[in-house]
Structure 1
Amino acid sequence: MAQFPYVGIQNSQRKGIISAMMNPAEMNNLSRAVEVQFFAGNAAFGNNVLTFSETLEYSNDLWNKMMERADQPVNGNTDGSVIIPSFGMKTGKWSFGLISQVQSRATILNLNPELGRYVTENEVNFDLIRLAINNPNNQRANTATWFESGIVVGREIWNSPKSKLSVGTNFKLLFPTGYTNIGVGNLRGTLVVDQSEVSLTNAEGIINFSYNESVVDTRNFNIDYNNLSFGNLNGFGFDIGFNYQLKNNKGVWLNTGMAFRNIGKLTFGGGQNNQTFRMSIPEGESFRIDLLEPDLKAIERDFLESGYFSRESNQDGFVVGLPTVWAANADLKLTDKFFVSLYGQTFIQNKNNNLQIPAINLIALTPSAIFGKFEVYSSWGYYDITGFTGGLGFRYGGFFIGSQSVMTALINQSKKADIQIGLSWGFGKKTSGNF
């Protein structure tokens, strides 16, 4: 989803690289004159059907269990990001930084569970079933991986005893690795299940395949990680952020921010195949989908040979939209030790676009307490795929470890599991205008 957010620690009162990654204007609020992020990692898995404990229990039959349990379109995501050594510095009214990270994600969107159930359970014999399908959304399975290196520049607009306004931008150089998408959009028709035969009749729809032929094994849809490599510079993006603080004689008591992140495009060149087919199956005729092999090349051949599919486009190389989000936060100092933060983000692109990396919408409330160098925080939020989650995290100096879902996972209610961890070091004099 956009960079999967470090909710909780990014609202910490110790402002560092994580905060600047989420809003580049926060580079102006570094706790120390120089900040080095040695590493940070973030991984998450979630869906809208099974709890995390059920996911572990049915790991050997996960797909069928999701299709069996679902009573609404199935959505799911797996995200991972790693920040490699990065740094930031503040001098006078200016701040500068270099933030580099690897992004990888996989997403399922709007999958019709009845279609998925009958298509995948080919070894089971069903009585004659005729199922009407009318799904105007694009049912997508999508993966994307890239490396980015961003140059961050921030500037204080004004800084008075009562308030401070800052701006910042993160200009990113992008190095794409791979992009895979299977999309079925505007699907209308009748699914006929007769014993083990599954066919479509009186059907229309748009089908898209996008994949890197050297990375994706078209015979079984597996990814060949040996062929994954970060290629040449082939895309640009940027973030822009604003930060406003209110202060009193004890320092900052309210820190607010707004940012637009991941504005830009990734360009995938030769060897990256993108094909779109238009399906039109007349009433009284049918197309056997249970006979399709788990091989993209064979599926493309069967489509064309059937006469029910016309290929509308066949590109070698294409441009993919980054997962652009609008985000806002507010951090309030309640006492010298207790704080509360509110963070939210919303995806501002079209999730149905086959050449668009999707992102999540969320809102989270994070109370925290600081005791010297030690901080404990607990993030409670609502995510548009996994619903309500509650987490817990700890920071000591520049080291942190936490989760946005561990509390609800312990009571067997969470449909999400995640972990975030990192280590940084700040040195030089403390900067003004911090909590």
Structure 2
Amino acid sequence: MIKKLKIINSNKAGKPISFRSEAEILGPSVGIRSEKWAFGINTKSIANGNMIDIDADLSEAFSDFEVQSNNNIFSINSPYNQRVYLGNWSEIGLMLGREIFSNENQRLSLGTNFRIIFPQNYINLGVDNIRGTLIQENLNFSLTNAGGRVNLVYSSESISNNNFNFSFEGFQFKDPSGLGLDIGANYQLLAKEGTKLNAGLAFRGLGSMSYPQGNINNNSYSFNIPQGQFYRLDELRGSLEEIERRIQESNFFQRETPPSSFETILPTQLVVYGEWMFNQKFYISVNSHQRMGNNRSNTQITSQNLIIITPRILLGKFEMYSPWAHFEVSGLSGGLGFRFGGFFIGSNSVITGLLSQGKMIDFHTGLSWSFEKRQ
């Protein structure tokens, strides 16, 4: 017996849910400066996982405590693409910089980072423009009078013995099949006591990486379930291959013609930054990252918009800094960090995290040094 009717309409419900995580391992890097030129090489490995614009009320339909013991009918209308994806890759960056103009009062420089990319894993589940009726009877969920589009992408490395096997194994520099580019400009206003203003503009993450046809499964399905007929969602379990096989066996799903190759788009960003020196002991910097890609595209590796304001106090070799940021997903965060010489340790969110005003706590540490004092 159906006890309750609940309308799920993203146009009227709460904001969609997003979750973003990224792990980045920096490998050996080196830079050389010679007169007006600078050269460098860097290595890193990145893992990126995101839930993008998941309908909050649709999620509640599967997780609400009442659903566990009641029969319900949910009306669904989500007219946009909802995504869950995971990806990881390694990079080798070749850096080149050149001082364009310089005098005793100001300096202008240009720089590029040419990135050779080594893709490893990519998994994407996208559900676009879903509408219909979700029927729950005990722990069984069925769709009826429904339509939409499903995209399922997974690389062969993600499947091992028919099981889901996404792993972040760090640096793997084999089979390069992607190119990226960072390009930017830096301007410095100079004074007797040092650099009064340091400002810059950059485009980061231009480019893409491709997967050979034999190494990736990329299929999209449109579906139409007439009223009075039902498709059991709770039977979509097992490995990714098993889930896709059940979709293909259903008469409700029509497979679209797959592309001959698959390419993911790097997370392109517009970066603007600036630092002002009030005196030789107190500095303040502003850093803004703005996304340029379409988060809802099934081939887009995403990034989030953010702005960070960081005051710094410098006392000889000792430095204390406090970054305050507004992230697109987690909102406001404030942190604290310390540097002594080349060693630094800190967090971008420990203050708001401890005060229970933030939604994340992170941690960073590192060591850097140079062989020549910069002029």
TM-score (norm 2): 0.90
Return the offset for 1:318: 1.3
Q: How does 1:155-304 map to 2 (within 5 A)?
A: 155-217=98-160, 221-223=164-166, 229-269=172-212, 270-304=214-248
- Kindly indicate whether residue 137 of structure 2 is the aligned counterpart of residue 137 of structure 1: no
**2:61/2:74 contact within 8 Å kept:** no
Aligned to 2:322: 378
Distance 1:401 1:184, change over 3 A: same
Partner of 2:273: 329
Report how far residue 281 of structure 1 moved: 1.2
Ranges in structure 2 where 5+ consecutive residues have no aligned partner: 1-12
Distance 1:218 1:299, change over 3 A: farther
- Establish whether residue 128 from structure 1 lines up as the match of residue 103 from structure 2: no
Instruction: Tell me, yes or no, if structure 1 residue 147 matches structure 2 residue 90.
Output: yes
* Distance of aligned partners of 1:200 and 1:224 in 2 relative to their CA distance in 1, 3 Å threshold: same
Residue-pair matches, total = 362
Deviations 1:188-230, CA, capped at 9 Å, x for gaps: 2222223322111221111111112232358553425689954
Instruction: State the partner residue of 1:368.
Output: 312
CA contact (8 A) 2:90 2:170 kept: no
Query: Residues of 2 paired with 1:228 and 1:257: CA distance?
Result: 30
Q: 1:425 aligns with which of 361, 364, 369?
A: 369
Q: Which residue of 1 aligns with 2:249?
A: 305
Alpha-carbon spacing, 1:216–1:228, altered in 2? closer, same or farther (3 Å) = farther
| Alignment match, 1:101 | 44
CA distance in 1, matches of 2:144, 2:337: 53
* CA distance in 2: counterparts of 1:104 and 1:327, whole angstroms: 21
Structure 1 distance, partners of 2:257, 2:309, is 45
Structure 2 counterpart of 1:85, one-letter code: P
Question: What whole-Å deviation, never above 9, does each CA across 1:45-98 have from its counterpart, x for those lacking one?
Answer: xxxxxxxxxxxxxxxxxxxxxxxxx95322112211111111112211111111
Match of 1:83 in 2: 26
Q: Distance in 1 between matches of 2:149 and 2:54?
A: 15
Q: Which runs of 5+ in 1 are unaligned?
A: 1-69
Runs of 4+ in 1 over 4 A off after TM superposition: 120-124, 217-220, 224-230
Seen in structure 2, the aligned counterparts of structure 1 residues 219 and 77 have a Cα distance that, compared at 3 Å, is farther
Higher relative contact order (CA 8 A, sep 6+): 1
| 1:410 equivalent in alignment to 2:329 | no
Q: Deviations over 1:382-408 (max 9, x none)?
A: 000111101111111111112111111
1:173–1:235 Cα contact (<8 Å) kept: yes
| Partner SS for 2:238 | coil
2:343 is matched with: 399
Q: Deviations over 1:127-163 (max 9, x none)?
A: 3322222212221111111111111111111011111
Aligned to 1:24: none
What one-letter code is carried by the residue in structure 2 that aligns with 1:178?
A: N
Pairwise CA RMSD of aligned residues?
A: 2.3
1:247, distance to aligned residue in structure 2 (A): 1.5
Query: Contact between 2:289 and 2:306, CA under 8 Å: does it hold in 1?
Result: yes
Q: Is contact 1:217-1:224 (8 Å) kept? A: no
Q: Contact 1:330–1:342 at 8 Å: present in 2 too? A: yes
Measured at CA, do residues 335 and 226 of structure 1 come closer, stay the same or move farther in structure 2, by a change above 3 Å? closer
Q: Structure 1's 384 and 224: CA in aligned 2 closer, same or farther, altered over 3 A?
A: closer
Q: Is the 8 A contact 1:217 1:223 kept in 2?
A: no
